[in-house]
Structure 1
Amino acid sequence: MKILYATSEAVPFCKTGGLADVAGSLPPALAEQGAEVAVVLPMYQRVKERFGSQLKFECYDFVDLAWRHSYCGLFSLEKDGVTWYFLDNEQYFNRPDLYGYIDDGERFGFFSRAIVRMLPHFQFWPEVIHCNDWQTALVPIYLKDDGVREDRFRSIKTTLTIHNIEYQGRFGMQTLGDLFGLDQGWAADGTILMDGDVNLMKGAILCADAINAVSPTYANELKMSYFAHRLENIMRRCEYKLSGVLNGIDMKLYDPATDQRITANYSVDDLEGKNVDKAALQRMMGLREEPHVPIVAIVSRLVSHKGLDLICEVLHDMMELPMQLVILGKGDRKYEEFFHWAAQQYHGRMAVRLDYNEELSMAIYSGADLFLMPSKSEPCGLSQMIAMRYGTVPIVRETGGLKDTVQPYEAWRDAGNGFTFANYSSSDMLHVIREAVYLYKDYPDAFSRLRKRAMKCDFSWARSAKDYLRIYANITGQPWPSVEPEKVEEAASVVEEATPVVEEAAPVAEEAAPVVEEAVPVAEEAAPVVEEAAPVAEEAAPVVEEAVPVVEEAAPVVEEPVPAAEEKPMKKAAKKTEKKSVKKAKKDEKPAEKPEKKAAVKKTAAKKETKKKGPAAKEKKEKPAE
C-alpha cells in the first residue's frame, strides 16, 4: 500500500505542537508494518538551516494557484524507512516561524495545491493521501476538483485527521476564487461555505473518504456542540466515515533509560536517577532544593482551552500546599503576564519560562513529580504520555485523549496510573491536586507503586499504525495485511484435497435421505428422552453387545450401503455418527419388512426400540404381528 502523509510540521525537522510528534512517529511506524510511505512538508527556513546539507534536489516545476504561477522546488531525504519530501518556495516558507502570518491562507493554499500538482515527480503514485488539520484540508478538495478533468486523480483516496477542530481555516468569501482558485459552485452547494465564510475544514470533512480524530473519546465529542465549534452537524452527517485512533509516542526517543537529553538516566526498576534529575531541575529553575517536596509541572501552550483559567482562580490555594510549581510555555498575553507576576510572589517555590525549549521540557518531564493538564478540551494530548513515560504522574481533566490514557488512582485497590477530575471546576481540580500532593508526602510507597504503573504503560505507535492501515484498507478496498502468495497456494491445495471427500459423500447422503425423512418424527418424540439418557448409558452397554449377532444376520438385507462403507470409509467423526444413525434407523425397520425372523430377534429389536424410541416404536412392532 502506497501512502503519502501530508503535514505542515514534523519532528525532527520543525515543531510547534503535538502534530509534529505524530507526523514524525506515525509514518515510520506505518513503514515498519510493511506499507510504502512518503511524507511531504513545506521547506521552512529552519529546515534549510538544520538539514539543508542532507537534502537532495529532485526537480522543480510551476504551480498555478488561481491567477498565480509560482515556482515550486522538490527536495527529498531518506530517513527511518520513509522518503521525506520538501516543497520549496521562498516567498511563502523562508520565514523564521511556521504560522502566525497574515497570508497563512495563501501560504497553505499553495502548499496544498503543490502537493496535488507535484505528484508526478514523486517516486510513487499514492493510493492514499493522509491529510492533517486545515493546513492540508484543501488537498481532498483539489483532488475532487481536478478529478473531473483528469482521470488519474480519481484513483487516490484521502484520509483527514482532525487534531484540533477549533482551528478550521476560515477566510472571507472573496478568497474562494481569487485566492484558492475554486469555482463558485463549491460555495453554492454549501460544501465549503459556512456562516458566510470559506471553511476549509468543513470542505475537507465532506470531501475526504475517511475522517478520524486522535482519540476515541474525542471522536464522540466532535458530535457535540460544546466541542465541535459549530461543526457538530457536519460531523454527525459524516459519522459513517468517522473513527477515533489514539495517538502514540516514540517509545525509543522518550526512554528515560537511554535518553541523552536528561541529566541522569533511570528505569522503572531503578529510580535513583530521577532524584538526580529533580535536583538538577530545581537548580536550573531557581527553586529551593527540597528533595521531599513534590514538583508540579505544566508544559503547554498558554491558551484558554488548556484550562489555565482554573489555575488562575486557585493559584494562591495551590501554593499553600507543600509543593513547587514549574510552568513552561507561551501563548496569550493575559496568561503570560499573570504567571510572570505570580512567579515573583512565590520566589523559590514557583518558576516560569515564557518560551518553548526542547531541552528544558525534557528536564521538566524527567525531574518533576506531578504533571498538571486541566484542559477544557484535549483531542489527544501527548504531554501526559511523555510524562508517564518518565515517571511523572499526571493530573488531568477527563476529556478527549486524557480520559482514554489516564485511569484514576484508587487507593482501596491500589490501581490507576494518575489522578483525574470530571467537571471543569477549579475546586474539583484543587481537591485532586491536594490528594496527589499528600499521597506523595504521606504515603511514599503507594506513590512509588503508582509512578511505576504509569511508567509501564504502552503508548507505542505499533497499535495505532495497525488501526490506520485498517482505515486505508477500508477506503481502498485492499486487504490488509496482504496475503503472501505461498499461503494462498497452501490454502488452494487444502481446498483441492477436501473436494473429493465431499463428492464421495454425496451418494451416501442421497440413499440415506428417505430413511432420515422417516426418522424425523421419531427424533421429535425422542427429544425429551435424551435428557434422561445419560445415566442409562452404562446399563445399555450390555444390550449393545447382545445385539451384535443380530446386526450380522441382518447384514445381507442391506445390499448396497455395506460394500460402499467398506470401500470408502468415512474419515470424519461427524460422518461416522451419521452412518451409525442410518444403520440404526434401518435396523428399526427390518422387523417390519421381514416378519419371518426369529422371535429372539423381534424381542431384542422391540426392546431396543422401546428404550430409544418410545411409543412410536411399539406401534411399528405391533404392525408386523398383525
Structure 2
Amino acid sequence: MQVLHLCSEMFPLLKTGGLADVTGALPAAQIAAGADVRLLIPAFPAIRQAVTESELVAEVDSFAGPVKLRYGDYHGVGLYLIDAPWLYDRPGSPYHDDAQCAYGDNHRRFALLGWLGCELAKGLDRYWRPALLHAHDWHAGLSCAYLAANGHPARSVFTIHNLAYQGLFSAHHLAELWLPNAFFDREGLEFYQQISFLKAGLYYADHITTVSPRYAQEITLPQFSYGMEGLLQQRQHQGRLTGILNGVDEKIWNPAHDAHLIARYDADRLANKVKNKLHLQKTLGLQVEAKRPLFAVVSRLTSQKGLDLLLEVLPLLREQGAQLVVLGTGDAGLQQAFVAAAAAHPGQINVQIGYDEAYSHRIFAAADVVLVPSRFEPCGLTQLYALKYGALPLVRRTGGLADTVTDCSLENLADGSASGFVFDDCHAASLSSAIRRALVLWRRPQQWRDVQRQAMRLDFGWQIAAQRYLSLYQRLLS
C-alpha cells in the first residue's frame, strides 16, 4: 500500500500548530505498521536545513514556473521536497510574514503542493507511485481537485484539522492554477464567489476525516460548519465522513524519558513531578510552594480557545491562592491583557508570549491543571499531553476535548474513570464552577493522585490512529 501524505508543516522540522505534530507522527506510525508511506512538503528553509541530503527526482514546468522535486529521508520517513525558492524561501511562518500578513501568492504556493501530489500519482517518480493521497487541511485540499481533473489516478483522503481555516482566494486565479473552469461551481470548489481550497478537499476527496469523532458530528451543524454544513451533511449521509482521534507521539511526550525535565517521573513516581513544579516556580519568580495549585495554559491566545473567559475568572484563581502560567501567542488584545495581569501579580501569574517547545514540556511536567476552555476544538493535543504528564485537563465539552477527558464527577471518581474536569456552557460562570471543583479535589491529595494515575495510564498512542487510517485506506483501495 503506497500512500503519500501532503502537508505544509511537520514536527520537529517546522511547526506552527497541532497539524505539524500529526504529520510528524502519523506517517512514522504507519510505516512501523508495515505501510509504504512518504510525505510531500514545500522546501521551506527549516525543511531544507533539516534534510541536508536529497536527490533530484524530476524537474517539471508548472503554473508557478520550472520546479524541482527532490527526495530525501528524515529519520526513516521519505520526504519529497518541492524546491521552488522564489515561493518558499521567505521569513516568517509558512503562511504569512513577520507582520502577520498572508503572502499574496499563497494560492500559487499551496496549489503547487496539490498539483505535484497529483503529478506523483500520475507517475512523476518512475520508481514510486502512490495509490492514495492523504491531504491535510486547506493547504493540500486542491490535490483532490487535481486528481478529479486528471481522471483520478489515485484515491484520496482529506483530513480537516480545523474547519475555520478555509484557504479562500479570488476566483480569477482559477485559470492560472490549471484547473477546468467548470470546477468553479457550487458543485465544486466555489464558495461565495471565491475559490475554497478547503471545499476542494471536501467536495472531491473520496473520503473525509476529522481529528476526533465528536468533531465529525459537530461540523455538520451550522454553528460549527462555517457555511459548509450542507456539503458535510451530504458526505455524512454517504458514509464518507469519519472522525479518527489524534494520538500522542510517546517518543517525544513521555515524562519518564523527557530530556527537557529536571526530574523524570511516571504514574508510580509522582513525587518527581513535584520537583518539576518547584523548579518552575523558582525559575519564574512565583511563590515556591508545592501545596499551592499551579494552573497552566499552553495555547494560541485566541477567542476560539476561550481564553477571554479565563481572563474573566482570574480574580477567582487569585483569591483561591492558585498560580497561573501562560505560554502562547495570538490576538494582540488577549496578549496585552495576560501580560498586564502578570505585571500586576508577579508572584502568582507568569506570562510568556511566543512558543518554546522545551518550555512547553516543562510546563506540562510542573502544572497541576491545564486549562483548555475552547469554544470549539477539532481534537486538541494540549489535553492529551496534559493527561500524559499527570496535569489534569480542565476543558469544555466540545470536539476532541469531550472525546478524551472524563469529568471528575462523583460517579466517575467512584468507578476510577475520572481524568479531568469538564464543563458545558461557554460562559465564565461555567468555567468558574469547574475551577472550584478542581480546587475542592486538590484539597483531597489521595483522590487527586488517583485521578492523576488514571489520566497517565490512558492510551492515546499513534498506533491506534495509524491502524484506523490504514483500514480506511484499504477499504478505499479495494
TM-score range, shorter chain: over 0.9
Structure 1: stretches of 5+ with no match in the other structure: 148-153, 478-626
Higher helix share: 1
Query: Any conservation in 1 of the 2:317–2:323 contact (CA below 8 Å)?
Result: no
Query: Any conservation in 1 of the 2:30–2:470 contact (CA below 8 Å)?
Result: yes
The CA deviation string for residues 24-83 of structure 1, in whole angstroms up to 9 with x for no partner, is 11111111222111111111111223x143x22233412312xx4232241311523x31
Query: Any conservation in 1 of the 2:189–2:199 contact (CA below 8 Å)?
Result: yes
Within 5 Å, which residues of 2 pair with 1:403-482? Answer: 403-412=402-411, 413=414, 414-440=416-442, 442-477=443-478
Query: Any conservation in 2 of the 1:63–1:114 contact (CA below 8 Å)?
Result: no
Equivalent position SS for 2:130: coil
Question: Where does residue 248 of structure 1 map in the other structure?
Answer: 247
Query: Any conservation in 2 of the 1:127–1:156 contact (CA below 8 Å)?
Result: yes
Deviation at 1:86, TM superposition (A): 1.6
Query: Any conservation in 1 of the 2:441–2:447 contact (CA below 8 Å)?
Result: yes
Within 5 Å, which residues of 2 pair with 1:141-156? Answer: 141-147=145-151, 154-156=152-154
The CA deviation string for residues 290-323 of structure 1, in whole angstroms up to 9 with x for no partner, is 1110110000011111111211222223322220
Counterpart Cα distance in 1 of 2:292 and 2:45 = 43
Query: Any conservation in 2 of the 1:322–1:437 contact (CA below 8 Å)?
Result: no
Query: Any conservation in 1 of the 2:56–2:68 contact (CA below 8 Å)?
Result: no
Counterpart Cα distance in 1 of 2:106 and 2:322 = 42
Deviation at 1:192, TM superposition (A): 1.0
Query: Any conservation in 2 of the 1:58–1:76 contact (CA below 8 Å)?
Result: no
The CA deviation string for residues 446-479 of structure 1, in whole angstroms up to 9 with x for no partner, is 10111111000100111111111121112111xx
1:92 paired residue among 81, 87, 95: 87
Counterpart Cα distance in 2 of 1:429 and 1:117 = 50
Structure 2: stretches of 5+ with no match in the other structure: 97-101
Query: Any conservation in 2 of the 1:63–1:117 contact (CA below 8 Å)?
Result: no
Task: Please state if 1:257 is matched with 2:256.
Answer: yes
Question: Where does residue 128 of structure 1 map in the other structure?
Answer: 132
Query: Any conservation in 2 of the 1:6–1:129 contact (CA below 8 Å)?
Result: yes
Task: Please state if 1:195 is matched with 2:197.
Answer: no
Task: Please state if 1:326 is matched with 2:325.
Answer: yes
Counterpart Cα distance in 2 of 1:63 and 1:312 = 52
Judged with a 3 Å threshold, the aligned counterparts in structure 2 of structure 1 residues 298 and 122 are, in CA distance, closer, same or farther, namely farther
Judged with a 3 Å threshold, the aligned counterparts in structure 2 of structure 1 residues 63 and 279 are, in CA distance, closer, same or farther, namely farther
Equivalent position SS for 1:372: strand
Question: Where does residue 144 of structure 2 map in the other structure?
Answer: 140
Question: Where does residue 168 of structure 1 map in the other structure?
Answer: 166
Aligned residues: 464
Question: Where does residue 46 of structure 1 map in the other structure?
Answer: 46
- Give the letter for the 1:159 counterpart: V
* More RCO (CA 8 Å, sep 6+): 2
Counterpart Cα distance in 2 of 1:462 and 1:420 = 27
2:179 paired residue among 162, 178, 182: 182
Within 5 Å, which residues of 2 pair with 1:198-347? Answer: 198-239=195-236, 240=238, 241-347=240-346
Counterpart Cα distance in 2 of 1:52 and 1:462 = 25
Deviation at 1:284, TM superposition (A): 2.5
Question: Where does residue 68 of structure 2 map in the other structure?
Answer: 72
- Give the letter for the 1:127 counterpart: A
The CA deviation string for residues 336-362 of structure 1, in whole angstroms up to 9 with x for no partner, is 111111111111100000100001101
Counterpart Cα distance in 2 of 1:392 and 1:267 = 12
State the TM-score, normalized to the length of structure 1.
Answer: 0.72
Counterpart Cα distance in 2 of 1:253 and 1:122 = 35
Judged with a 3 Å threshold, the aligned counterparts in structure 2 of structure 1 residues 421 and 123 are, in CA distance, closer, same or farther, namely farther
2:109 paired residue among 107, 110, 118: 107
Higher strand share: 2
Equivalent position SS for 1:121: coil
Query: Any conservation in 2 of the 1:330–1:354 contact (CA below 8 Å)?
Result: yes
Counterpart Cα distance in 2 of 1:210 and 1:63 = 30
Counterpart Cα distance in 1 of 2:206 and 2:187 = 18
Judged with a 3 Å threshold, the aligned counterparts in structure 2 of structure 1 residues 63 and 299 are, in CA distance, closer, same or farther, namely farther
- Give the letter for the 2:41 counterpart: L
Query: Any conservation in 1 of the 2:281–2:288 contact (CA below 8 Å)?
Result: yes
Task: Please state if 1:400 is matched with 2:399.
Answer: yes
Deviation at 1:287, TM superposition (A): 1.2
Query: Any conservation in 2 of the 1:75–1:87 contact (CA below 8 Å)?
Result: no
Equivalent position SS for 2:22: helix
Counterpart Cα distance in 1 of 2:251 and 2:298 = 21
Judged with a 3 Å threshold, the aligned counterparts in structure 2 of structure 1 residues 352 and 123 are, in CA distance, closer, same or farther, namely farther
Counterpart Cα distance in 1 of 2:198 and 2:20 = 19
Question: Where does residue 99 of structure 2 map in the other structure?
Answer: none
The CA deviation string for residues 224-279 of structure 1, in whole angstroms up to 9 with x for no partner, is 01111110111011112001101101123211111111111111111121111111
Aligned-pair identity in percent equals 33
Task: Please state if 1:387 is matched with 2:369.
Answer: no
Equivalent position SS for 1:174: helix
